[in-house]
Structure 1
Amino acid sequence: MTPLIFVTGGVVSSLGKGIAAASLAAILEARGLKVTMMKLDPYINVDPGTMSPFQHGEVYVTDDGAETDLDLGHYERFVRTRLSRKNSVTTGRIYENVIRKERRGDYLGATVQVIPHITDEIRRCIDEATEGFDVALVEIGGTVGDIESLPFLEAIRQVRTERGPEKALFMHLTLVPYISAAGELKTKPTQHSVKELRSIGIQPDVLLCRSEQAVPDSERRKIAQFTNVSERAVISVPDVDVLYSIPMGLHAQGLDDIVVNQFKLADKAGPVDLSMWEDAVDATLNPLDAVTIAVVGKYVDHQDAYKSVGEALKHGGLRQRTKVTLKWLEAQELEGSDMAALADVDGILVPGGFGDRGFEGKVLTSQYAREHKVPYFGICYGMQAAVVDYARHVLGLEGANSTENDRQSPDPVIGLITEWRTASGDVEKRDDKSDLGGTMRLGLQEQRLKPGTLARELYGKDVVEERHRHRYEFNNRYRTQLEDAGLVIAGKSMDDTLVEVVELPRSAHPWFLACQAHPEFLSTPRAGHPLFIGFIRAARERKAAGQPLAEAHA
């Protein structure tokens, strides 16, 4: 049985359970252990694929096409293990599995109940996702005291009771607020949060105390006394300027030693090597250069919707010791403007999205970047906007559009595959009542790059793999026309049927590339991603050339 670290949260949400868990996982991995991670989310949605980014933030996609919680993005950025749909489980999926079994008669006529059937299914999913690893961290979404998380908490209580402390450890993340009027850190919320956990049979082994400032030893002793947790296991986790410094802070307080000793892993765990994280922190704090990148999207007021994009841009800067400042721009607000908001940036990125709101602003952004020779990086919807821009403003197809936004477009250069793959050439009618979930091209897929292109140069190989999440595609009926007009199709699916990457020749533009996939999902602070590294390099070169966009615009 894989030793399991169960991570819970108390007092308030958004304390950073996922990052704290991922940081501990990174330390254990740095000691030579094989580590995996898992998220148990209490919402009833089967997955977050149909949830609003305003409510839930980014939908992260795994190699096998699972649409998951954004915390899996944190996990994969901190540890090398590639995760799958097994690593993201919701209440909705648990109940779906149990109901399917009940309908098949698997329970032999028994009354199906939360205990044991729901909790048994939760435990089965945990075992399935964690088998074969030295250590697994399992994060429970939500906050202790929420009604919806009770089945998960009961399931992990059962695991600890059956397997004992050598195979299951409880780590609780809680808040120690600073009350400025009193000039004091207050431990009472933590005491009550632990009391709530103990009322359902869970005694934490470790407390991670989140606070604005380091928790003094006197307060740590007080917390230990009132929560029945060893003082050495009361860990201070203050706010930090650099996210990637957290592993060093946890290691300095001996958190990994607590885990190794409790699980008796000393024979497997070697000395820690956190040099890669130290390098990332040093590059962040001591940059040699700086650039400003505009991110033109639909959800910029809720930046968690673009969590991986923001991180990948910073990773691209880390590899070159370049500070990347992000300027978030609402695409809709650019419509009808003079585009002056783009006049002080060194590069422009248009990320993925859905729906017609702000799409025209994205098309105008592509046009501006193309005409003013600004480095442009389009991702998913950003690629589709670039294709529409090129069709309208270079090829002369004024009505060009995506059928997602205009079903009557005379030139649907972007559409569903079924809309341009019919034998007769007629557009098939869409079923607007079909489920939104499960209708997209999802997961890791191979693509072949064209020799001599910017994409091929950046990747350094002919065939690459990227993760996808989209429904609409480049319409192949316009491929020849657009290529004849100068658009370079730099990447295609392995069967040559789907366009994956478009770009402009470097004789026409210094750096203009757009891809249908989501390369941000494969970027890590350890290595970055070749497209993001290349994009930031192009932004640096533009800045070094001393030609501000305001001059180019004039």
Structure 2
Amino acid sequence: MTKKYIFVTGGVLSGVGKGITAASIGAVLQAKGLSVSVQKCDPYLNVDAGLLNPKEHGECFVTKDGAETDLDLGHYERFLDLELTWKNTTLSGRLLRDLIADERAGKFGGQTVQLVPHLTNAIKKSIHEAAEGDVHIVEIGGTVGDYEGLSFIEAIRDFSQEVGRDNCLFVHVVYVPFLEASQEYKTKPAQNAMAELRSFGIMPDVVAVRTEGHDKPPRSVGEKIAISSGVRPEGIIMMPNVNTVYEVPLTVARDLGPMLSEFTGVTTEPDLTRWKNLATRDTTDYAREVTVGLVAKYIDNTDTYLSVTEALKSAAWAENCEVNIRWINSETASDDDFAKVDAVLVPGGFGSRGVEGKIAAAMYCLEHNKPYLGICLGMQTAVIAAARRGGVDGANSEEFGAGQGANVIYLMDGQAGKESTGGTMRLGDYPAVLKEGSLVAKTYGTTEVTERHRHRYEVNKDFAQAIEQGGLVISGTSPDGRLVEFVESPHCDYFIATQAHPEFKSRPFRPHPLFSGLIRAAVLARNA
């Protein structure tokens, strides 16, 4: 079939669910038997998402080849069960950097370099390079009308002319507020957002109407938007809040299915059995439940740890169990907090704020046989806790000011002086060899694994004896044995920590073994 393209844009305001919408459309197309590729285009003047504030933008999702990306790529990977690369994320900063480098190298032959056509051509080229499926889905970040996004809107308009308008489907996600004072939905902001998109030469084929609450808005809302915009009534889909984001593919299939069949020419009904089962799992009242304490510093923005919380949920559903996530502020954490939960998880992070609370969490779990999973910084703080127990006075990380004799976590070779710059970390997939017979090897069911990484600092093996005296053993290393990848406690039922980020490889239909192991251990601890 001729390659098809779906462009997802947003109107009124950002954060209304473009990423989930794009991923859900892709899931429905996959269920029809089509291959799908996906891409996020962000107008930010950043080269990548590595230095974006997680409190403002949510987690930095790392791909297998080490690209630091927006959290929407996590949605894409979970929904579509793909492993994406740097080609699937495009930021203005990277394109502009490369354009300027080419201009300085004389590659434009004296031309005046401009946003149109040079930047727009670069955007179109990035879309062609990422388009590998029968259908390629492109989400444009931000909101139509943002100054920084104009080049992207122009680029996809021009792109549709090049590949043929019939081969492109434009989906515009808009927000329709409900005013309590007048008890009515107001479509004017959505009408204005669509008018703005049309002013750039793009007529949307589909308008996805996001509303608050779980009740579907009255039919008149969709009719009013259709009349005012010129979009066909069957192209207006209502998307109120749902109990779980995994219900959205079902909504898309029900309301947009005929249009997707018409667009792709594939009339096969999508097999959505696993999505129906997944949506049911998330809303089931399970007989068993556990509470996992997530020790973190950004507890007022849970999107910072989105892949972690999704991995916990997926693992719990697979174990026919309900997981309650209790957020524990790492700056104020106490033994009383840890005692109230069935298991503890310390996620990755940077900076010294709240680190003592994370060390205290590992210390408590070591001393009270509490199930523990440490991720990245969560492994480093566990090692610090063990080293302190093993007699290293003031044991800490060089990241937090530790000097010789106390730096049980130290800076990777070649990274000194680069602590404030992006792109200087150990990023992406790295293999590890697990110790035969170790708990982590039993949990994985193998002694060779590959996990994604995002860090600069490493465990200092000079302190291996003190760390072991403090209750931890090294149970996994890099293939050459130089770098510590996993530690565990032989004295605890489940205490595993890894330098990697296993949450990035967890899927709703295929939970990660380390998270499944934590949930199983939490169930046993609760019933002990």
TM-score band by shorter chain is: over 0.9
Measured in 1, the distance between the counterparts of 2:189 and 2:245 equals 25
| Letter of the structure 2 residue corresponding to residue 145 of structure 1 | G
Measured in 2, the distance between the counterparts of 1:107 and 1:138 equals 28
Measured in 2, the distance between the counterparts of 1:313 and 1:38 equals 26
Per the alignment, residue 397 of structure 2 pairs with 402
Pair 1:263–1:274, CA change in 2 (3 A): closer
Query: What is the correspondence of 1:481-496 to structure 2 with a 5 Å cutoff?
Result: 481-483=466-468, 486-496=471-481
Cα shift at 1:435 = 5.4
State the SS of the aligned residue for 1:237.
Answer: strand
Query: Could you tell me whether the CA contact under 8 Å between 2:81 and 2:507 is conserved in 1?
Result: no
Per the alignment, residue 52 of structure 1 pairs with 53
| Letter of the structure 2 residue corresponding to residue 48 of structure 1 | A
| Letter of the structure 1 residue corresponding to residue 394 of structure 2 | G
Measured in 2, the distance between the counterparts of 1:345 and 1:375 equals 10
How many percent of aligned residue pairs carry the same amino acid? 46
State the SS of the aligned residue for 1:396.
Answer: coil
Per the alignment, residue 233 of structure 2 pairs with 231
State the SS of the aligned residue for 2:262.
Answer: helix
Cα-to-partner distance string for 1:57-94 (whole Å, 9 max, x where unaligned): 11000000000000000000000221100111111011
Cα shift at 1:311 = 0.8
Cα-to-partner distance string for 1:118-147 (whole Å, 9 max, x where unaligned): 0000000010011x3100110000011111
Q: Given the alignment of the two structures, is residue 37 of structure 1 paired with residue 34 of structure 2, yes or no?
A: no
Aligned with residue 371 of structure 2, among 350, 375, 381? 375
Unaligned 5+ runs, structure 1: 420-428, 546-554
The number of residue pairs the alignment matches comes to 524
Pair 1:358–1:486, CA change in 2 (3 A): closer
Measured in 2, the distance between the counterparts of 1:239 and 1:138 equals 23
Query: What is the correspondence of 1:325-474 to structure 2 with a 5 Å cutoff?
Result: 325-334=324-333, 337=334, 339-393=335-389, 395-408=390-403, 410-418=405-413, 430-431=416-417, 436-474=421-459
Cα shift at 1:302 = 1.4
Measured in 2, the distance between the counterparts of 1:528 and 1:257 equals 32
Aligned with residue 525 of structure 1, among 495, 508, 515? 508
Cα shift at 1:310 = 0.9
Query: What is the correspondence of 1:309-320 to structure 2 with a 5 Å cutoff?
Result: 309-320=308-319
Per the alignment, residue 271 of structure 1 pairs with 269
Measured in 1, the distance between the counterparts of 2:245 and 2:168 equals 27
Per the alignment, residue 297 of structure 1 pairs with 296
Per the alignment, residue 68 of structure 1 pairs with 69
State the SS of the aligned residue for 1:533.
Answer: helix
Aligned with residue 222 of structure 1, among 221, 224, 238? 224
Query: Could you tell me whether the CA contact under 8 Å between 1:20 and 1:246 is conserved in 2?
Result: yes
State the SS of the aligned residue for 1:315.
Answer: helix
Query: Could you tell me whether the CA contact under 8 Å between 2:391 and 2:466 is conserved in 1?
Result: no
Query: Could you tell me whether the CA contact under 8 Å between 1:284 and 1:321 is conserved in 2?
Result: no
Would you identify which runs of 4 or more consecutive aligned residues in structure 1 move more than 4 Å?
none
Query: What is the correspondence of 1:165-314 to structure 2 with a 5 Å cutoff?
Result: 165-212=165-212, 213-253=215-255, 255-266=256-267, 270-286=268-284, 287-314=286-313
State the SS of the aligned residue for 2:261.
Answer: helix
Cα-to-partner distance string for 1:189-240 (whole Å, 9 max, x where unaligned): 1111100101111110000000123132222122111111010110010101
Unaligned 5+ runs, structure 2: none
Query: Could you tell me whether the CA contact under 8 Å between 2:441 and 2:447 is conserved in 1?
Result: yes
Measured in 2, the distance between the counterparts of 1:2 and 1:102 equals 32
Measured in 2, the distance between the counterparts of 1:167 and 1:60 equals 30
Measured in 2, the distance between the counterparts of 1:49 and 1:537 equals 33
Pair 1:156–1:48, CA change in 2 (3 A): same
Cα-to-partner distance string for 1:370-421 (whole Å, 9 max, x where unaligned): 111111110000000000000001x1112211111024252211111329xx
Cα shift at 1:485 = 5.4
Query: Could you tell me whether the CA contact under 8 Å between 1:41 and 1:141 is conserved in 2?
Result: yes
Pair 1:297–1:435, CA change in 2 (3 A): closer
| Letter of the structure 2 residue corresponding to residue 8 of structure 1 | T
Measured in 2, the distance between the counterparts of 1:257 and 1:524 equals 28
| Letter of the structure 2 residue corresponding to residue 293 of structure 1 | V
